[in-house]
Structure 1
Amino acid sequence: MKSALRIACSRSHLQQVRDFVRTYLSNRQLPEIAINQVVLAVDEVVANFIIHANGEDESQFLDLKIDIKEHELNVEITDNGDTIYLPEPHQNPDLRDYIRQGRKGGMGMTLVNRLMDRVVFFTRGNHTVCHLSKHLA
């Protein structure tokens, strides 16, 4: 069963995204830990698209599709803005160094990569797409 959501690029819509993902997954009677992991990962990617790719331009929008097929969760987030947003390839930053420097931010995609089994950014036409997948037991 597929489900879809379209939102304007504003942080004010992040709660709507979290609720949408949580409701979809809760209706499939998944463990709470798996639901929380996916909600957090999707929230981080959507926030990055809103803030970094679109500068919170509410005239732009994102499309989110979620699907579970044979214990495989797939989430696709499509940015319909004018900017191609491809984050740096996943790296494993030194957390102790981050703490020592007092840095804030920049750890979100590291977290997403740890929570999900597969995270891929690519372009489709002139739009950026992020595909997240996770095997559900």
Structure 2
Amino acid sequence: MKHELRLYCEKTKLSDLRDFLDQELSSAKLTDILKNELVLAVEEVCANRIIHTHGCNPASHLHVKVLKQEDRIIFEITDSGEPFDILDYKTPDLKEVIKGRQKSKAGGGVGILLVKRIMDTIEIETQQSRYLVRLTKQLNSK
């Protein structure tokens, strides 16, 4: 089963993404915690693409697909923005991030750390003007 959402690059559209993911995951036999973790991971990747790659330009959009299989759920996020390799991103030291957040409320790469911890597999594909992030969660994993 495969479902998809066209998500325009505005921060206000992230609520549409959460609604879409909640609906798509409602038929899967997931704990509430796992479901919320998956939504958080996909939302983080989409938010980073919307904010950092597309500059919240409502003329741009992402495609989000959910592929449910017996043993896994796959999320594919595709757009035409500049590549960013989440796999090569060096996450900051959490102690330093916490110290920095006490001085500033700016982000610090913690979202990417969460995505890497939640998902079992992260794949990146870049072809011509197409950038794809594929996030896979094995349903029998922790």
Q: Which amino acid aligns with 2:40?
A: L
**Alignment pair present for 1:6 and 2:9:** no
Cα distance in 2 for residues equivalent to 1:36 and 1:84: 27
Aligned partners of 2:32, 2:87: CA distance in 1, in Å? 30
Establish whether residue 76 from structure 1 lines up as the match of residue 76 from structure 2: yes
Partner of residue 36, structure 1? 36
The alpha-carbon deviation at position 33 of structure 1 amounts to: 1.3
Q: Distance in 2 between matches of 1:95 and 1:28?
A: 33
Match of 1:89 in 2: 88
Q: Deviations over 1:18-56 (max 9, x none)?
A: 111111111223211111110000000000010011001
**Structure 1 counterpart SS, 2:3:** strand
Q: Is the 8 A contact 2:87 2:122 kept in 1?
A: no
Hey, what's the Cα distance between the residues in 1 that align with 2:129 and 2:63? Answer: 14
Give structure 1 stretches of 5+ with no counterpart: none
How many angstroms apart in 1 are the aligned matches of 2:84 and 2:54? 9
**Alpha-carbon deviation of 1:87?**
4.0
Task: Report the CA distance between 1:98 and its aligned residue.
Answer: 1.6
Moved more, 122-131 or 84-93: 84-93
Q: Which structure 2 segments of 5+ residues have no match?
A: none
TM superposition shift of 1:80 = 2.7
Q: Which residue of 1 is the match for residue 65 of structure 2?
A: 65
